[in-house]
Amino acid sequence: MNTEREQILKVVGLKQYFKSGSGRNKLVNKAVDDISFSIYKGEVFSLVGESGCGKTTTGRTIIKLYQSSGGEVFFHGTRIVSDVKAAKEAFQLKMDQINEGKLRETAEIKELLDNGRISEDEFKSRQEAMLQRYNDEAKNANEIYRLAKRDRRFESIKDVEGMKAKNQLEIFPQYQQILDKYVRYDQETKAAIQTFTDKVSKQKENVNRAAQSGDKEQVRLEKIKLQELTQELKKHEKELKLSQLRKKQDIDNLRYGLTHKNRLLMRRMQMIFQDPIASLNPRMTVKEIIAEGLRINGVKNEKEIEERVNLALKTVNLVPEHASRYPHEFSGGQRQRIGIARALVVEPSFIIADEPISSLDVSIRAQIINLLNELRETKGITIMFIAHDLSVVKYFSDRLAVMYYGHIVEMGDKELVFNNPLHPYTLSLMDSIPLPDPEYEKRRGRTVRYNPAEHHDYSKESPTLREVEPGHFVLANTEEFERYQAQIKK
């Protein structure tokens, strides 16, 4: 089903390691360790797990608040996180293979020549074809490595094309197209100005002749004609000035687009933070907080900024009068709405919601969830929802991934995971969900806790994320995989 839908985000082998200490005391905390998943347009994809499992770190690495330790992230088909180290290793390995291949095939062709099995001309022809093939492979490998390095500097103006756009805009074909368009238009306008200038000059002579003749009616008619021609001349002169302004705007827009093209893409990804107090600057008014994203992205018209801020406030069920207040004047739920408005004002297509309801009262939680659901339905926004409350995830999400210590242990459609949880950690999380039934809670007894040492034996084979049924993935080795499949068939 998902293969037919538009893929908004693709995460491949994402890693985020935090290092502390040095030398023999150096420690590496693998907060996110080689996870992969995809998110499709219009869905809610949830990351669930206990505190410290790597959910928030995953979200922050995707949106580039952290620089990744490895892996790749593609957003709307464009790579926004690149694994340069892996690309460099792959490039070096490929070049070694190419050099070995050249030596081996050269020796084989030389042997055929020495044995008299091919002629001198055929030897040269085969060698040239072989060298051309390997040179093409080397160029392709180098291009892949170059693109990886370029994407690593995604936001940086140091990108070659960005630097050229900033300092040598005239080398871009788009620049020449703009010039050509306005040159043609300006030539036509200048020709019209010259024509009407001549007409005005001649008409002034007509007015003078009529005045000398003493015919007042003729003078009146000639002056009316002169006024009409003068207005037409001023109109063309005004058009020429406007043309120069439009040309400057088009060139500025081209320069900004080439220099910050990746920023324009990243604007379509926004994040709602967990703490509605800490995520809002107490020294800024609500208008300043919400408008900050617009200003960063080059919106300068104050009227437009005010209109978009007011619209964002109305979208989250606040009123424009709130724009002049400060964060401390609002309740927790209202602050979270302000955070949502800040994310919505730049019109994103994808939102990472990092436990947006965890610090709110139960009644306020329902309001925020309903608001996010409404935004999803009315604006078509795709949401990555980070949470540890499985009851909320069950209500709100379409697909989910369960994380444990930096790994995805189970992933799939909501119905598959909730109706048939397979991984012991997922079962443990399900078992910990309280039910509004006192008698059942008394009978249920103690919650089963997940212990990897007791539940798994990975001494012979390490686990990988495997598809046990269509749309349902579990972290397992071969033995566990077969057991899970047998469990599904029962």
For the chain, give every domain's residue range.
2-76+395-454, 95-153, 167-262
Instruction: Please determine, looking at this structure, whether the domain spanning 2-76+395-454 carries the CATH number 3.90.1640.30.
Output: no
Cβ neighbors of 126 (< 8 A, separation 6 or more) are 109, 118
Q: Are 13 and 58 in contact (CB under 8 A)?
A: no
In the block, tokens 């957003």 appear at 75
pLDDT band at 154 (very low <50, low <70, confident <90, very high): very low
Taking residues 408-433, report their average pLDDT. Answer: 90
Taking residues 115-140, report their average pLDDT. Answer: 86
Taking residues 141-159, report their average pLDDT. Answer: 56
pLDDT reported for residue 80: 79
Cβ neighbors of 396 (< 8 A, separation 6 or more) are 44, 46, 369, 372, 373, 385
Pairing relationship of beta strands 269-272 and 472-476 according to DSSP bridges? unpaired
C-alpha span between 62 and 481 (Å, rounded): 30
pLDDT reported for residue 388: 85
Give the residue among 254, 244, 205 at the shortest CA–CA distance from 226: 205
Helices 286-296, 302-315: crossing angle, 10 deg rounding = 120
pLDDT band at 160 (very low <50, low <70, confident <90, very high): very low
pLDDT band at 155 (very low <50, low <70, confident <90, very high): very low
Q: Is 406 left (phi over 0), alpha (psi -120 to 50) or beta?
A: left
In the block, tokens 């967990």 appear at 274
pLDDT band at 135 (very low <50, low <70, confident <90, very high): confident
In the block, tokens 């050509």 appear at 180
Question: What is the pTM assigned to this prediction?
Answer: 0.66
Coil, strand or helix at 290: helix
Coil, strand or helix at 486: helix
- 88's tokens: 């460099």
C-alpha span between 347 and 308 (Å, rounded): 10
Highest mean pLDDT among 406-410, 427-431, 436-440: 406-410
pLDDT band at 156 (very low <50, low <70, confident <90, very high): very low
DSSP 447: P
pLDDT at 264 over 70: no
Encode pLDDT of 265-302 as tens digits: 778 899 998 888 888 999 999 999 999 988 888 788 99
pLDDT band at 144 (very low <50, low <70, confident <90, very high): low
Taking residues 405-428, report their average pLDDT. Answer: 92
High-pLDDT (> 90) share of the chain, %:
33
High-pLDDT (> 70) share of the chain, %:
86
pLDDT at 168 over 60: no
Encode pLDDT of 57-102 as tens digits: 999 999 988 888 888 888 888 777 766 666 677 778 888 888 898 8
pLDDT at 114 over 80: yes
C-alpha span between 125 and 110 (Å, rounded): 12
Q: Which amino acid is at 56?
A: T
Q: Are 48 and 55 in contact (CB under 8 A)?
A: yes
pLDDT at 162 over 70: no
pLDDT reported for residue 384: 96
Share the mean pLDDT of the chain: 84
